Structure 1
Amino acid sequence: MKNVESKQEVKVFAPATVANVICGYDILGFALDKPGDEVVMRRKETPGVQIVNIEGDDGLLPWEAEKNTVSASVQNYLAQIGQPDLGVEIELYKQMPIGSGLGSSAASTVAGLFAINQLLGEQLTQKELLPLALKGEELACGYPHADNVTPALLGGFTLIRSSDPLDVVHLPVPSELHCAVVFPHVDVPTRAAREMIRKNVPLKDAVKQWGNIAGLVSGLFMNDYNLIARSMEDVLIEPTRAILIPEFYEMRKIAMEVGALSFGISGSGPSVFSFARSPELAAEIAEAIKSHLKKNDIDCNTYISSVNTLGPKVL
């Protein structure tokens, strides 16, 4: 616990994330430079946590403090440090789409926790904030997934070695690695996508998946782009979830023909992502996919990013 002077107001950014990273279902994730969410938080004289403004959510998010992941996480933080009646007001600016597969709820949760921790003088470390972030994710999704909130909070590329007890490993990021993200404007509910996943898988498929995960992690450590590329295959989850994403296999074909190292689903979709060895190539991949979707009357958002190693930050 740090002893840093508290503030009266703070504005922070927390990043979007790509979870699963194709072969690492529920255990791998990385943070993006953009998009993300912003939170303005300030002290107030009257007790309690209050949301005073939400923008960019199309009216989808609750304003009640105990139901919104930002404010509920702040309440949990204040309870943990023994100041449950402290007065705090919150403004949330959603700068990323809800239901995109880019960790929208995780970004909001992390923004809230990082902001209150900054506001009160960093009374908890980033890792001490992680269990509180998991509570926020449980409120939003019904299950405390760590693969979005962990990279959003800690930055970089993370491996969830164990969920109980929680054991998080930071992985290195090769310097040339860039990401092209495309968010098609189609609806893929997270819970529905999760329910479609097979509960039992053949041993040979599990062995292949383990090999791919080990290969991807090894490739990151070794700066071996070819190993990264040939390891990014999902034989367990993607074949089922791809059914829910229009033009998925055509988008993958386009990405690989342009020169992507990989192509897969971000989180539960509908966003898809590719790794490339330069921002220029990542932009070319995104533009080619966008052009294809436009021909099929599907609008989309595109984002080009390196792996964000900082996580949340004060603006």
Structure 2
Amino acid sequence: MKTIKAFAPATVANVSCGFDVFGFAVEQPGDEVTLTLKKEPGVVVKKIEGDGGRLPLAPEKNTASVAVLAFLEAIDRKDEGVEIYLKKNLPLGSGMGSSAASAAAALVGINHLLGEPLQRKELLPFAMEAERVACGSAHADNVAPSLLGGFVLIRGYDPLDVVGIPTPEDLYCTLVHPHLELKTEDSRQVLRTSIPLKDAITQWGNIAGLVAGLMKPDFGLIGRSLKDVIAEPVRALLIPGFDEIKEKAVETGALGCGISGSGPTIFALSTERELASRTGKVIQQQFQKLKLESEVYVSKINTRGAKVV
């Protein structure tokens, strides 16, 4: 086999209370990466589609190629020749893990192409290196669920300790992406560098409650735990109408609603597909009132993660 195509899904990082330590994958949208082995050594990004010409073709700057380069060096095959064709279905700066999806798809593809020398979880450090290039921080709350699927807890980074959390069968995600762009670096700059102990205790209780709610499963507990007192209060200021949007989503019947990653995409969790679809329409209507166009995606939680197509 000389050519292979792989897909990696969008992800919701933070999941309200789980700032920088929690994330989950959805079914759609996602990025596609086609990789072809070539005789000449070196990794080449041949073409990128869907980015409006904004992403770099330089292999040391593109997340898909950075991940492949790190992988090849780790398995001592850095002289391998690889061509990469990247199809971006995820909007840039959307808060849906765009850079992570490109890296995850590339890694699953090259690993399969070369005979699966590494286990899926062993690919994580290379995807994290791609995240470092993309936004300056080697975080795993997008790449881990994109690679592994489901809900993922990043318990620690030194050493890397990633834990999969069981996903209730009847859980649906609504993603609404308004036509705004927020850079991760900008969203991080508005965060406080220290927090009151009272807020920290509230946040700890909510993340523990969210994990327990998923594992029991207890949808009421999940809903009560989807509250962020650290990042959301300040990041909400960057998203027009956020407080009213959140209120309307919960009134519609969603378990909870929050900012996906660093925004501006909004996520909501529901117990039925029809309810998740209705929630998406309500959120979209709120954006329309603000003269903002948006896309709505509804799916079950993706428990498989990135895959070879």
**For the superposition of Structure 1 and Structure 2, which TM-score range results when normalised by the shorter chain?**
over 0.9
1:156 and 2:171 matched: no
SS of 1:132 mapped into structure 2: helix
State the Cα distance separating 1:292 from its structure 2 match. 2.1
1:93 and 2:87 matched: yes
1:186 to 180, 185, 190: 180
Alignment partners' CA distance in 2, 1:232 and 1:269: 16
SS of 2:118 mapped into structure 1: coil
Deviations 1:259-287 (A, max 9, x none): 01001000000001100001111000001
Q: Which runs of 5+ in 1 are unaligned?
A: 1-6
Q: Which runs of 5+ in 2 are unaligned?
A: none
Alignment partners' CA distance in 2, 1:120 and 1:13: 17
Matched length: 309
Matching residue's letter, 1:261: L
Counterpart position of 1:279 = 273
SS of 2:34 mapped into structure 1: strand
1:241 and 2:228 matched: no
Map 1:33-182 → 2, pairs under 5 A: 33-182=27-176
Greater shift, 15-24 or 77-86, is seen at: 77-86
Counterpart position of 1:202 = 196
Query: Does structure 2 conserve the Cα–Cα contact (< 8 Å) formed by 1:39 and 1:91?
Result: yes
Matching residue's letter, 2:3: E
Query: Does structure 1 conserve the Cα–Cα contact (< 8 Å) formed by 2:240 and 2:290?
Result: no
Alignment partners' CA distance in 2, 1:209 and 1:201: 11
1:224 and 2:218 matched: yes
State the Cα distance separating 1:132 from its structure 2 match. 0.9
Q: What is the identity percentage for the equivalent residue pairs of Structure 1 and Structure 2?
A: 53
SS of 1:129 mapped into structure 2: helix
Counterpart position of 2:249 = 255
SS of 2:87 mapped into structure 1: strand
Q: CA RMSD in A?
A: 0.8
Map 1:300-315 → 2, pairs under 5 A: 300-315=294-309
Alignment partners' CA distance in 2, 1:72 and 1:292: 39
SS of 1:183 mapped into structure 2: strand
Deviations 1:196-220 (A, max 9, x none): 1111111111111111111111101
2:286 to 265, 288, 292: 292
State the Cα distance separating 1:295 from its structure 2 match. 2.5
Query: Does structure 2 conserve the Cα–Cα contact (< 8 Å) formed by 1:188 and 1:245?
Result: no
Deviations 1:159-210 (A, max 9, x none): 0111111101110111111011101111222111101111111111111111
Deviations 1:30-84 (A, max 9, x none): 0010011001111111111111111001111000111111112111111111111
State the Cα distance separating 1:308 from its structure 2 match. 0.4
Query: TM-score if structure 2 supplies the norm length?
Result: 0.98
Matching residue's letter, 1:54: I
Query: Does structure 1 conserve the Cα–Cα contact (< 8 Å) formed by 2:92 and 2:181?
Result: no
